[in-house]
Amino acid sequence: MNELNIGIIGAGYIGREHARSIRLTASMFGGKVKLAAIADKNLEAAKAVASDYDIPLTTDDVDKILDDPNINVVFSCVPTKFHIDIIRKATKKGKAVFCEKPFAVTLEQAHEVHEILTNSSAPHQVGFVLRYAPTYVALKKILDKQSDNSPLRHISLRDDQKFPISGIQHYTDWRSDVKQAGAGVLIEHGIHDIDLFEHLFGKIKRVSATQRNHHSYEGIEDFIEIRIEFESGQTATMTHMWHDIPAHTSVRSFEIFFNKSLVTLQDYAMHHINVRDQEAEKKYEKNDLFAMLSDEPLFKDISRREDLLFMSDYYAIQDYWFMRNLLSDTKPSPSIYDGLRAFEIAHACYKSARENSDWVEV
Ligand SMILES: NC(=O)c1ccc[n+]([C@@H]2O[C@H](COP(=O)([O-])OP(=O)(O)OC[C@H]3O[C@@H](n4cnc5c(N)ncnc54)[C@H](O)[C@@H]3O)[C@@H](O)[C@H]2O)c1
């Protein structure tokens, strides 16, 4: 693609985040990227984002973006139930699509989205933003180093957020409606971690899960505990919960045990990663992590443009790569293949939870 005229559909939390990220990074592409339009069924929401990020066209009619021949890239940022219609219409018109996760409310719908996107020649990307979070790229480097010294034994993750969405102060009631959200904390938030786990630790072989529903929204689990076995034989446990503790912000807490060392981290912003081994405790501070990453392919160009883009700004880094790949006709990543894989594993967890926590192969 020679230039990108972008339309965002949905001006809520994530639509605003993409508008900010595109506005921030557009100048890195020398005038080839334009943020052209934003649509939301709530026109006031669209207008507010348009005014903050200087977007010329605002509308409450989604088709105005989908039918506009000048717009060749669409970001789908609506509640989960509505992604499929946007993806279908946009790809029919040959537009590139950035689709937020989770992109469907049922497994059948996820397969349908997969089919639409794989049968289309229009490029696409799924919003597994953690793949672009520098902390996890640094974590992978640290883990590779540790595994040279002793084998990986066990991974434990606790991921918690205030219900219905993390420390971000905004209430989105569609997340309590199974018809719009599909399910609860695992599909809405934990799906990021499922994707990240396979990206960091290899292929998952089988899962076993138990879930609970403290808030009593039908079909919306707010607690799920998962046991994971990887094809390598390693094991992991994952706990995801939505709670009611406003003073406690969203935390992803990892403990990764090797035979002779322990790696821990508490957050996905660039804080620090701790490594304890037989000799000492080493704390990789923010600056150590930056130094570790500044020549990595994902961050090499960005680390030299900190005037524009902080290396900790993983949403902006994600969008930068989507635009850069479109402009160089390179396949964006992660794709719907990755999206469907994580979706299927999440649904295997739900199946296990329905069936007495029996192991389910994935
Ligand atoms: N990748 C991430 O980190 C991340 C973070 C948050 C949300 N998400 C995903 O993004 C999607 C949106 O989540 P959100 O937090 O922005 O929700 P939100 O409720 O903040 O925003 C959704 C917006 O869509 C608008 N809308 C609803 N139905 C519409 C329709 N049919 N047509 C046009 N506009 C419509 C609403 O008015 C609202 O402004 C969800 O699929 C969610 O799972 C991803």
The verdict on 176 and 285 lying in the same domain is yes
312 in a domain, yes or no?
A: no
- Ligand 1 pocket test, pick from 80, 100, 162 with the greatest ligand atom count within 8 Å of Cβ, gives 100
Per-residue confidence band for 308, with pLDDT thresholds at 50, 70 and 90: low
Pocket of ligand 1 (CB under 6 A): 9-15, 39-42, 45, 62, 77-80, 82, 100-101, 127, 129, 172, 174, 188
Domain membership of residue 248 (yes or no) is yes
pLDDT of residue 161 exceeding 90, the answer is no
* pLDDT confidence of residue 272: 85
Candidate from 55-64, 185-194, 306-315 with smallest mean pLDDT = 306-315
SS3 for 155? strand
Of the residues 89, 122, 155, the one at which a domain ends: 122
Residue 164 lies in domain: 131-296+344-354
Whether 65 is in a domain gets the answer yes
User: Do residues 59 and 142 both lie within one domain?
Assistant: no
pLDDT for position 294: 85
- pLDDT grade for 167, boundaries at 50, 70 and 90: very low
CATH number at residue 48: 3.40.50.720
Ligand 1 centroid distance, CA of 226 (Å): 27
What pLDDT digit, counting tens, does each position of 26-80 carry?
A: 989 999 999 999 999 999 999 999 999 999 999 999 999 999 999 999 999 999 9
Which of 122, 150, 177 terminates a domain? The answer is 122
Q: What b/e sequence results for 99-110 when a residue is b if at least 16 CB atoms lie within 10 Å of its CB, and e otherwise?
A: bbbbbbbebebb
Q: Do 101 and 172 fall into the same domain?
A: no
Judgement on whether residues 177 and 210 belong to the same structural domain of the protein = yes
Least confident segment among 59-73, 152-166, 294-308, 345-359:
294-308
- 16 and 110 part of one domain: yes
Q: Are residues 137 and 249 in the same domain?
A: yes
- Ligand 1 center from residue 308 Cα (angstroms): 26
Q: Would 95 be classed as within a structural domain? A: yes
CA-CA distance, 27 to 171, in Å (whole number)?
33
> From the CA of 143, how far away is ligand 1's center (Å)?
34
Q: Of 90, 122, 154, which residue sits at a domain end?
A: 122
Structure token digits, residue 314: 């993983």
Chain position carrying tokens 């059948």: 108
Question: Is 105 in the same domain as 239?
Answer: no
- Name the pLDDT band for 123 (thresholds 50, 70, 90): very high
109 shares its domain with 161: no
Q: Check residue 169 and give its pLDDT.
A: 47
- Under the banding of pLDDT at 50, 70 and 90, the label for residue 270 is low
Between CA 160 and CA 253 the distance in angstroms is 9
Mean pLDDT of 202-225: 96
Q: Read off the CATH number of the domain in which 291 is found.
A: 3.30.360.10
Distance 174 CA to ligand 1 centre (A): 9
Same domain, 105 and 158: no
Do 284 and 147 fall into the same domain?
A: yes
Distances in whole angstroms, Cα of residue 103 to Cα of each of 86, 120, 123, 187, 193: 10, 16, 16, 10, 16
* Number of domains present in the structure of the chain: 2
User: Are 149 and 117 contained in the same domain?
Assistant: no
- The answer to whether position 179 is within a domain reads yes
Whether residues 75 and 198 share a domain: the answer is no
Pocket test for ligand 1, best of 16, 38, 40 (most atoms within 8 A of CB): 40
Ligand 1, atom 32: closest residue by C-alpha: 41
Give the rounded percent of residues in the chain with a pLDDT score beyond 90.
79
Instruction: Return the SS3 of 46.
Output: helix
Using the predicted structure, report yes or no on whether residue 268 has a pLDDT greater than 90. Answer: no
Mean pLDDT of 127-147: 93
Decide: residue 279, CB within 10 A, 0-12 exposed, 13-18 middle, 19+ buried.
exposed
Q: Assess if residue 79 is contained within a domain.
A: yes
Residue 327 lies in a domain: no
Structural domain contains residue 315: no
